[in-house]
Amino acid sequence: MLTAILIGFMGAGKTTVGQALAETLDIPFYDTDVLIQQQTQQTPGAIFAQAGEMAFRLQEHAVLEQALAEPQGILATGGGIVEQPENLKLLKATQVPVIYLDAHFGTVAERLMGDVTRPILAEKSFRDVVELYQARLAKYQEVASLVQPVDNRTPKAIVTAIQQELTHV
């Protein structure tokens, strides 16, 4: 069984924190975007551009199901993992701790400024991204078993806090 699943908005630090946590615990690290790219030989951006968001979300659901079957590891999800009701059901039903990396919008906006690698940013206005962030907040909170604030904290401090929380789960 996976050790933890990290969720949160793009730019919250899921990949960075997930890699550091996995390294600290000496277990595998998985990232849904990387798993999708390995299986399809396409980046998430290419899938968005060529086949659309729904095609990407279907692939994302498939890799989430596969990752949940892994014997151990840390899974970092894409920020939109909560967009599909099927994913919400999986995340609510799992015995794996689902950790919401809670970053205020100002934090993620600062981190994402000028990032052209994120397909959703390429097609949305700033106002749209704010609305997307606000719409996803309740979904992250709905499926999270733990909430970890990340604003003004180093990845190392976040990893330490998560380790402490995981020992109490």
- 14 is an annotated ligand-binding site residue: yes
pLDDT computed for residue 16 by the predictor: 96
- 73 is an annotated ligand-binding site residue: no
Domain count, the chain: 1
Reported confidence tier of residue 47, pLDDT bands at 50, 70, 90: very high
Q: What is the mean pLDDT of the chain?
A: 92
pLDDT computed for residue 168 by the predictor: 80
- 111 is an annotated ligand-binding site residue: no
Token couple for 132: 């997307």
- For residue 169, being part of any structural domain is answered with no
- For residue 149, being part of any structural domain is answered with yes
Q: Residue 67 sits in a domain of what CATH number?
A: 3.40.50.300
- 33 is an annotated ligand-binding site residue: yes
- 79 is an annotated ligand-binding site residue: yes
- For residue 71, being part of any structural domain is answered with yes
What are phi and psi for residue 99, nearest 5 degrees?
-105, 120
- 127 is an annotated ligand-binding site residue: no
C-alpha to C-alpha distance for 16 and 99, rounded to whole angstroms: 14
- 136 is an annotated ligand-binding site residue: yes
- 40 is an annotated ligand-binding site residue: no
- For residue 15, being part of any structural domain is answered with yes
Write b or e for each residue in 24-39: b if 16 or more Cβ atoms lie within 10 A of its Cβ, otherwise e.
Answer: ebebebbbbbebbbee
- 153 is an annotated ligand-binding site residue: yes
Bridge partner residues of 146 (DSSP): 99
Considering the entire predicted model, what is its pTM?
0.93
- For residue 56, being part of any structural domain is answered with yes
- For residue 30, being part of any structural domain is answered with yes
